[in-house]
Amino acid sequence: MNLTDKYPELADLVKGASYNQLFQLLYKVALIRYATPEHLKRINFKIGTVNKAAKLNEFGLLNTYPTGISVITDKGLNLLKENGYNIGHIAKKLQGNGFGDEPVISSVILDLMDEADFHTVFYPHFDFLIPDCAVVWKKDDKVKLQFVEVETEKGNWQGYLEKKKANYELLAQDFDIYDKWWRRWSDILRLPLCSVEDFCFSVLCISELSFEWKGWNFYG
């Protein structure tokens, strides 16, 4: 059964585009979590229009808050799963509401998606550290793990970095980050598990205020 026959109610929505472009839009919204109207247009200018975003809400695939921020719904996630997308690392219940830093972080992630070898993004939590996100880069059989920190408020940028770096140093010293945490996440992300000797991660710090960035490399 072709997609037009399988999803006839979506035929008007993909006019001038394709079902694959629709799925890609939904998947990117799921990955960045909070999408502004500008994000939707950036992802796909054919489907990310105001009118088609309203239709996506009518079909129950997106939920748009009064603020204009859109998030994917359970129905949208199920549609992706039906069509072969891995949604195991996507949170079904978001804790935020799209205010504050969240749209800025979404913009940063969209920038990273445009880079070569981008594979996916997820949102880990540790007891003493909550990165803004974690990005997986993949080229052939090589995988790179990178945590991302985005600073959006005026303040002591250097002090902010020093505190973050100290927490990541603690993380790198904990064997469980490989043996328990990465072992679990590599399975969820459907990635091959590297050896403990090869396991490492880096951190990308970005200041949206001054467009500065800084990177660190850590070995587990």
**CA–CA distance, 108 with 159 (Å, rounded to integer):** 22
pLDDT for 145 equals 96
Q: Find out if CATH 1.10.10.10 is the number for domain 1-88.
A: yes
For residue range 111-149, what is the model confidence (pLDDT) as tens digits? 999 999 999 999 999 999 999 999 999 999 899 999 999
Mean pLDDT of 63-84: 95
SS3 state of residue 114: coil
- Is residue 1's pLDDT more than 80? no
Q: How confident is the model at residue 156 (pLDDT cuts 50, 70, 90)?
A: confident
Q: How confident is the model at residue 59 (pLDDT cuts 50, 70, 90)?
A: very high
Please state the pTM of the whole predicted model. Answer: 0.92
Return the domain boundaries, the chain.
Answer: 1-88, 115-220
Quickly count: other Cβ atoms within 10 Å of residue 122's Cβ: 17
Mean pLDDT of 57-81: 95
Q: How confident is the model at residue 210 (pLDDT cuts 50, 70, 90)?
A: low
What values do phi and psi take at 88, rounded to 5?
-65, -25
Inter-residue contact 55 to 47 (CB < 8 Å): no
Residue 64 structure tokens? 């748009």
